[in-house]
Structure 1
Amino acid sequence: MGSILCKITQEQEVAMLRERIDKLESKLREQSFLVDMTNILIKGHDLDTTIKSTLQLAMEITHSEAGCLYITDPSISKLKTVEVNGCISEKLVRAFSRLNELMNTKELNKIVEVDEKDEVFKKFAALDKRLVAFIIIPLVVSYNTIGYAVVMHLHDEEDTHPNCYSPQDLTNLKIYSHQAALLLDNTRVKIEQGKKEFYLKTIASLVAAIDAKDIYTQNHSSRVAKTTVMFSKTLGLAEDMIEKMHYGALLHDIGKIGIADAILNKPSFLTDDEFNLIKEHPLKGFRILEPMELETEVLNIIKYHHERYDGSGYPEGLQKQKIPLPARIVSIVDAWDAMTSNRAYRKSLTREQVLYELKRGKGSQFDPYLVEEFIALVEKNQVDFSSES
């Protein structure tokens, strides 16, 4: 009897040992898989490849049949769908893009498994009868959620696949989601940096093209940009806004590229028709640069720097606060530089004459508060006189 009990005990110990070994081997395989898959992700050189790999790997780790990847977009209220993998109905894809509306926001700060036991599951299952379970995976970098991956089991009646996710699936996803979020964010940052370098080179080329067209206003754009930055700092604008002001001021006259040199360099006053052509340059500049998807503040400067505070400007006749702040600032600096520079049809005005014109334009051409601030800088000799620079 004792030998029988001893044999049973030994068999139980062996079975328990085997179970532990199986679990360890399974965990090692999963961890090894995660490392291998992360290495594959790191080799991705573009955002599209990284996005596709991120979702594909999340599906492989959890043995899911389908998945979607969404990125947060501050400009719209719902998530932006960037990748779909598997045979998923369009209705279900759209529903997952509204996670914040359909689920408690607090739940979305952690990995959430949802199946038929959850009340919220019915909202999604009603859109696709094949849906049996799904996992929401927040992609978090420095406490900021940059997006979500959703993996799901989609089964037809004859499917023999498991209908739920295992605790190990959730554990693996916790490890993977941190790596995936960092990779996505790093790839996005690299691309943005590349775009900025291209953007700056493009701006430099465009400014050179503007200056080359008008021999009387060479370096006008650079001077306006320099003074705009100085003025913006005294107004206490944020650094990122000042940077946008700089680019907008550099490009404010880009629309003149589309105007004949003979008009720009005419040594006498313009006719009404010629002046009407000149007045087209803000809109022309806006249309040239709009496809580049520049910041709104930059485009607003280009489009609205000839609007007047009393509404008598162009191209839209905006007035007062309806004129974007960046455009109101640049309009003052642009007028200052124009008046203190030699032009084809006149010599530069004196400092006293310019101050008179600025004061005369208070409340009509210029924002009264802003022009007072600018006049104060001029009177303190903190603004360069163009003909002296």
Structure 2
Amino acid sequence: MRTREAALDYPKGSLELAVCHACGFITNLAFERGRHEYSHDCEESQGCSPTFSRWLQELAAQLVENHDIRHKTVLEIGSGKGEFLEAICRAGDNRGFGYDPAYVRGRHDSQTTGSLDFIPEFWDASKGIHDAEFIACRHTLEHIPDVADFLAQLREAIASRIDTLVFFEVPDVMRVLKECAFWDIYYEHCSYFSTRSLERLFQRNGFDVLECALDYDDQYIMLLARPIASPPVAATDPALELAASDHYRDHWAKNSIHWQAFLQQRLEREQAVVLWGGGSKAVAFLTRIQGSAAIKTVVDINPHKQGAYMPGTGQLVIAPGELKENPPHTVIVVNPIYHGEIEAMLSELGLQPEIVCLQG
């Protein structure tokens, strides 16, 4: 948010998670459509991170190489700021169409913009698929409450083009539940998947699942599928999802208390603490624990977040270089996969604070 007042006044929603005893799918029963917005003001991009950017480029190159996505049309539903669509179109000399109301023009390599069309709208079946041979949907399905209806629309839009390859990427809820990572559960995510519940969802809506596995330090589920007339629906025993849900219900508060005590101790010792990472995980962490006011600032390498304020709690987001003015005693890293990258940046700044990762 661009002012602290707007950040503190930002509307909040409730969480009431429920797990399906038939398939293991988890949803937020308290989710209300329209309570939050997706627009160009939404800054979700992780592309400024060298770690993430390198992985994303490798992912695009692997998909192109493994599935011969060359000189084809690619559709991305929920394309964000367009980094993935640009990467896969450049890697395979493809034509790309992206749908996302949060798209911001002017962030792309001029050499690829001619092969990309971004439509700043939500996708639905009425938009069609632009005769795409490859359809991607990354970190979007978890924001959709009626997931079965969405996939049914996609299958309807694909129709008889059974050679179309579909690629979906979502967070893995099993890791979140097992680690009691309460910062990975937030209002914008109304749908949560395990590999098995995601596979079953696709099978029940006319797709043959080719691959379904974890990636990015086992944080993300990656699913590849093709449309099929009568897909087999595997029997699902959600015992693992139910057990993990029970574990989270019984233990997440203990993890929250741990972090409250951690911050209180630093506050009593007058040791400055900053949070590194200004995305949704940080918002969830700051709004779910008492004593988060002990964290005065949040660091993010994305220049489009710097100078803004964290929704709900109002901490200012600063650039890494600004830490030199007031060196922190402790840096809490929101996502452990960025620990090495952040440690290197701090070293370049001549800083050697205590570095602690958010973990269960």
Fold in common (TM above 0.5) = no
TM-score where L is the length of structure 1 = 0.26
Higher relative contact order, chain-length normalized (CA < 8 Å, sep 6+) = 2
Q: Normalising by the residue count of structure 2, what TM-score does the alignment of the two structures yield?
A: 0.27
User: Which of structures 1 and 2 has the bigger CA Rg?
Assistant: 1
Identify the structure with the greater strand proportion.
Answer: 2
